[in-house]
Amino acid sequence: MARLPNRGAKALWPLAAVLALLFAVVLADNRDRSGRAADQGAPDLAMQPVIAAARGPEVRFVLAEQDLFVTPPRETPSRTPNGTIAEWRLYLVRGDGDSELLLQTRRQITRLRWTPGTIWTTFSSPAIGYLPTDPLPGPATTGLMRFIITPAGVLRKDFVLEGRQILPRFSSAGSQIAFQFIRLSGTRSPVYVLDGDRALELDGLGSAVYPFSWTPDGSGLLVMEEADGRLQGPLHLVPRSGGSTTIVAPTGHRPADWSPNGAWLVHMADDSVFVFDRNAGASRLIASNVRGLWPAPRWSDDGRYLLLSGQIVSVDTWGVETLPIAAERILHSTLSPDGQYVLFNEDPILPPLGDPSCPRPAYLYNLRTKELRQLSDCAQSLTAFLKWLSSGRVLLVYPACWYCGPDAYRVKLLDVWSGELQPLTDGLEYEASAVISPDGARLLVTGNRLRLYSSEGSLLREMVPPEGVFVHRAAWSPDGGMFAYVTGPRWFLLPMPDLP
Instruction: Give the per-residue SS3 of 161-174.
Output: ECEEEEEEEECCCC
Q: Return d(Cα 360, Cα 366) in angstroms, integer.
A: 20
* Mean pLDDT, residues 82-95 taken together: 86
Interstrand relation of 459-463 and 469-476 (parallel, antiparallel or unpaired) = unpaired
Phi/psi of residue 328, nearest 5 degrees: -70, -10
Average pLDDT, the chain: 77
Q: Who contacts 188 (Cβ-Cβ below 8 Å, separation ≥6)?
A: 180, 181, 182, 208, 210
Query: Who has greater pLDDT, 455 or 16?
Result: 455
Interstrand relation of 254-258 and 264-269 (parallel, antiparallel or unpaired) = antiparallel
Query: Who has greater pLDDT, 407 or 461?
Result: 461
Q: Return d(Cα 486, Cα 471) in angstroms, integer.
A: 6
pLDDT at 70: 64
pLDDT in tens, 141-171: 888 888 988 888 888 888 878 777 888 898 8
Q: Return d(Cα 215, Cα 235) in angstroms, integer.
A: 13
Q: Of 448, 414, 430, whose CA–CA distance to 491 is shortest?
A: 430
Q: Return d(Cα 31, Cα 341) in angstroms, integer.
A: 39
For 337-377, the DSSP string reads: TTSSEEEEEE-TTSPPSS-TTSPP-EEEEETTT--EEE---
pTM of structure? 0.82
pLDDT at 82: 67
Q: Give the residue extent of every domain in the chain.
A: 252-388
- What is the percentage of the chain residues whose pLDDT exceeds 90? 29
Long-range Cβ contacts of 370-377 (<8 Å, 24+ apart): 370/324, 372/324, 372/325, 375/343, 375/414, 375/416, 375/419, 376/419, 376/421
pLDDT greater than 80 at residue 230: no
Q: Of 414, 410, 413, 416, whose CA–CA distance to 374 is shortest?
A: 416
pLDDT at 29: 30
* Mean pLDDT, residues 395-404 taken together: 79
pLDDT in tens, 59-79: 655 555 445 566 566 676 677
The torsion defined by the Cα of 304, 309, 311 and 315, in degrees rounded to 10, comes to -20
Q: What is the CA radius of gyration of the chain?
A: 23
* Mean pLDDT, residues 82-111 taken together: 87
User: In sequence order, what are the beta bridge partners of 297?
Assistant: none
Using CB atoms within 10 Å of the CB of residue 338, give its burial: 0 to 12 exposed, 13 to 18 middle, 19+ buried.
exposed
pLDDT at 26: 24
pLDDT at 426: 94
pLDDT in tens, 5-62: 343 333 333 333 333 333 332 222 322 323 322 222 223 333 334 444 444 445 655 5
pLDDT greater than 80 at residue 140: no
Q: For domain 252-388, give the CATH superfamily.
A: YVTN repeat-like/Quinoprotein amine dehydrogenase (2.130.10.10)
